[in-house]
Structure 1
Amino acid sequence: MAILFFLLHLLAISLSVYGDAFIGVNIGTDVTDIPSPTEIVALLKAQSIQHVRLYDADRAMLLALAHTGIRVTVSVPSDQLLGIGQSNATAANWVARNVLAHVPATNITAIAVGSEVLTALPNVAPVLVSALEFIQSALVAANLDQQIKVSTPHSSSLILDSFPPSQAFFNRTWDPVMVPLLKFLQSTGSYLMLNVYPYYDYVQSNGAVPLDYALFRPLPPNREAVDANTLLHYTNVFDAVVDAAYFAMSYLNFTNIPILVTESGWPSKGDSSEPDATPDNANTYNSNLIRHVLNNTGTPKHPGVPLSTYIYELYNEDLRTGPVSEQNWGLFYANGGPVYTLHLTGAGTIFANDTTNQTFCVAKNDADTKMLQAALDWACGPGKVDCSPLLQGQPCYDPDNVVQHATYAFNAYYQKMGKSLGSCDFKGVAIVTTTNPSHGSCIFPGSSGKNGTSINGTTQAPSPANSTVSGCLSQYYKGGSFTTTLIFVALFFSSVVVL
């Protein structure tokens, strides 16, 4: 009988998370020159990312995500919680404006109400459950409650005595909130949203937590952590924290609420007091995390039970305050270039740059045309790019506009410079993409194609034998303006492009 109950319990958890585990990404916006929503979505599609979490419900972003099929978690910013938690009408208006206005074109599947409210904004805690209930009521009225789940992300610091996991419990100060919150999640078939950061567990442990244990690196059996009460073996911090949350819910008599990890990651750069915030460690952690999740490994307490996770985060947020690490959790720079190349062999198609390493530099569609023209002139002049394929009658002349011609020139320079950091910026009018911009007979440098020839690992577009760089420049410098324009362009870009 006990075995049957255990199996049914596992089945209930598996069904409640709707199939296999997924990897998603958080999209923060504290970024200088943040890409446009269209460019962000292009990066998501190029990297095969099908799940994203927004920290708000930005209209432009939701419109850009429409008709992509990407599953979206929108958020109620914490500073709006007091109003929503005290007024059913305010909550209904928020849902109408930020959800109903976008579905079904945009595939909104969850609403995260606030973020780490109990630990970061305790004064708002008394209205947290009301906010969830009011938003849920609005979804029920719109017949969307089965499609869209409502929850609120918690910091793992809410869990006390997290090891051994079997002895963990939530900070009892918050029992008056946690008990009705868990009842809400249980009754609506939602999940406990949890932010899990082994980096901080490692840093704050004063050496008690081995780095390998935090990074999912293999441990010999004698170094695995063992829960003496359950005899479960733990090979990584991530699983131990998640299981601590499961046990903490069990302590309050809730045993059938699944967990969704809304944030997890590792910083790639830190200050002098953060020596383990490195690209190699960030790569190791996120690569291992992705494999762990997509393999449906589960945790020692719930093996094989899907544990979907959102990586923190898509872009480095250079505007965030605090230590250097706060600005360096991203997988990509704002220009679309990868901060590091993930090692994901055998982990599916997510994050395409890990296997192909094919990236291209393209002009931003919404960039100022004068800036684009200046950058194009520089690339074809001082940048020493062979722009002859852009001449009239040549393969890349059409379409004849500054965006398309600049894209070719930018990419040719980027490939010539070995895709080095800073070689795809051009004063903010260029961005890195994994989408091959080649079209028709116009084969871009760096792409693979029967019309291209590989040079030093990249592919150069074919060009007529007698074409010269000066021939391309004549396309852009007319009416005696060559000298003054060239001087302006050289000055404008001398401090921007890495030569």
Structure 2
Amino acid sequence: MAVAERFGAPWPPSRFFFFFVAVLLVLLLTDGGVSWIRRAEALSIGINYGQIGDNLPSPSRVSYLLQSMQVSKVKLYDADPYVLSAFLDTDVEFVVGIGNENVSAMAADPSAARAWVQRHVQPYLLATGDGGTRRRRITCITVGNEVLKGNDTSLKAALLPAMESVYAALSALGLQGRVNVTTAHSLDIMGTTYPPSAGAFAPDVVPYVQPLLSFLSMARSPFLINCYPYFAYKADPGNVPLEYVLFQPNAGVTDANTRLNYDNMLYAQVDSVYAAIQALGHAADDIDVKISETGWPSRGDPDEAGATPEYAGTYIGNLLRRIEMKQGTPLRPAVPIDVYVFALFNENLKPGPASERNYGLFYPDGTPVYNVGLRGYLPPMDFSQGTRRKSSEN
């Protein structure tokens, strides 16, 4: 029986059309268990898509979710073709990763880097496919994650040669102008972050980071830093003002050397990295600093101060507003900050304190952990089976 006939006499096509539109509007404007609310514009923010869990939705479902949120930038910790294929015919740009476990091999054997690029990057760089179909794009490769914060000196020494091998592979394939090559760092590589103008890398890191900066300058690639103001608050909640770390109204802190005022810790951390880069001989506009991870946990162990949904929602919500304003840091106000939020989902198999498993914007069923307007539609499809571990995700 036709849908229109269930309501009595058959409806004329025009009446049925208006009925359909009315129902669709109800779905769009109400929240009846599954949210259909979409943002009008593509988000300027990126999202880290980690997969250390055994209850996470399949990549095809995640693709629907991110598209419904109008997310256009995603960062992975590997280059899983299963994930990339799920975003076929979308406008999503990807940062893909080479795990720490593969860094030494690529440093020792450039052909391994070339084989990796040919397998994991080259197939996904076509601007159009058959019949003009859009392809997913890879814009950046991160070689390792937070390598320089560790104690493995051989791995640290292999980092730059591995990056050079990947860059050489891209160049040999004519792709070097289309894909950046870099690595993501923990803020722990900083010896000094306050005041921001006195920012400096830790002395034991300088021998590794100085030639790495020269490479980034040559390759026109960004310096990626993982910044978590939450860690500073957690370590000293009695002396770190909550308003300062949550982007809430406050008098801020003025750098006595530059007279620049900072009303939030994240921007101060980023500018301290710029200062550290300048201290090693690079101009402020030579290498862009991008935030490859930042977030706030919604839950933690009893000794993890501030890990609540309220604070997490405040941090992410206020950060989103800053990004939508295309705001820069006090040192570089004309350059909008580029941020990848950590993370898309709570990941139930991440090791460490409870907070590590509770950085997600969403629960695995697609329900928002807190409300900051980032709602989307997760279709009712099968969950992926088994555990999906990414060893270099921290």
Q: Could you tell me the TM-score, scaled by structure 2's length?
A: 0.81
In the alignment, structure 1 residue 144 sits paired with structure 2 residue 175: yes
CA apart distance, 1:97: 1.2
Aligned residue in 2 for 1:253: 281
Aligned residue in 1 for 2:271: 243
User: SS of 1:34's equivalent?
Assistant: coil
Which residue type is aligned with residue 90 of structure 1? A
Q: Which has the higher contact order (CA 8 A, sep 6+)?
A: 2
Aligned residue in 2 for 1:328: 358
> Contact 1:30–1:318 (CA<8 Å) still a contact in 2?
yes
Q: Percent identity?
A: 37
Instruction: Indicate how the Cα distance of structure 1 residues 367 and 264 shifts in structure 2: closer, same or farther if over 3 A, else same.
Output: closer
Aligned residue in 1 for 2:292: 262
Aligned residue in 2 for 1:100: 122
Aligned match for 2:259, one of 231, 240, 263: 231
CA apart distance, 1:275: 3.5
For 1:10-60, what per-residue CA distance to the aligned partner results, in whole angstroms no more than 9, with x for missing partners? xxxxxxxxxx99310001101222211101111110111100000111110
User: SS of 2:88's equivalent?
Assistant: coil
For 1:313-347, what per-residue CA distance to the aligned partner results, in whole angstroms no more than 9, with x for missing partners? 0000111121111110000011111111115xxxx
Aligned match for 2:302, one of 268, 272, 282: 272
Aligned residue in 1 for 2:344: 314
For 1:107-166, what per-residue CA distance to the aligned partner results, in whole angstroms no more than 9, with x for missing partners? 000001110000035330101111111101111111111111010000111112211011
User: SS of 1:152's equivalent?
Assistant: strand
> Contact 1:21–1:293 (CA<8 Å) still a contact in 2?
no
Which residue type is aligned with residue 327 of structure 1? R
Structure 2 segments unaligned to the other structure (5+ residues) = 1-41, 127-134, 386-394
Measure the CA separation in 2 of the matches of 1:96 and 1:106. Answer: 16
Moved over 6 A (4+): none
Measure the CA separation in 1 of the matches of 2:323 and 2:279. Answer: 26
Instruction: Indicate how the Cα distance of structure 1 residues 187 and 83 shifts in structure 2: closer, same or farther if over 3 A, else same.
Output: same
CA apart distance, 1:263: 0.1
User: SS of 2:215's equivalent?
Assistant: helix
> Contact 1:21–1:296 (CA<8 Å) still a contact in 2?
no
User: SS of 2:74's equivalent?
Assistant: strand
Whichever of the two has the greater Rg, that structure is: 1
Instruction: Indicate how the Cα distance of structure 1 residues 284 and 206 shifts in structure 2: closer, same or farther if over 3 A, else same.
Output: closer
Structure 1 segments unaligned to the other structure (5+ residues) = 1-19, 344-350, 354-358, 369-499
CA apart distance, 1:106: 2.3
Aligned match for 1:170, one of 188, 201, 205: 201
Instruction: Indicate how the Cα distance of structure 1 residues 201 and 366 shifts in structure 2: closer, same or farther if over 3 A, else same.
Output: closer
Aligned 1:145-160 pairs, distance under 5 A: 145-160=176-191
Measure the CA separation in 2 of the matches of 1:286 and 1:85. Answer: 37
Instruction: Indicate how the Cα distance of structure 1 residues 150 and 121 shifts in structure 2: closer, same or farther if over 3 A, else same.
Output: farther
> Contact 1:164–1:227 (CA<8 Å) still a contact in 2?
yes
CA apart distance, 1:362: 4.9
Q: Could you tell me the TM-score, scaled by structure 1's length?
A: 0.64
For 1:88-115, what per-residue CA distance to the aligned partner results, in whole angstroms no more than 9, with x for missing partners? 1111111111111332232000001110
Aligned match for 2:54, one of 10, 32, 45: 32
Which residue type is aligned with residue 95 of structure 2? T
Q: What do you get for the CA RMSD once the two structures are aligned?
A: 1.8
Aligned 1:44-123 pairs, distance under 5 A: 44-104=66-126, 105-120=135-150, 122-123=152-153
CA apart distance, 1:274: 1.7
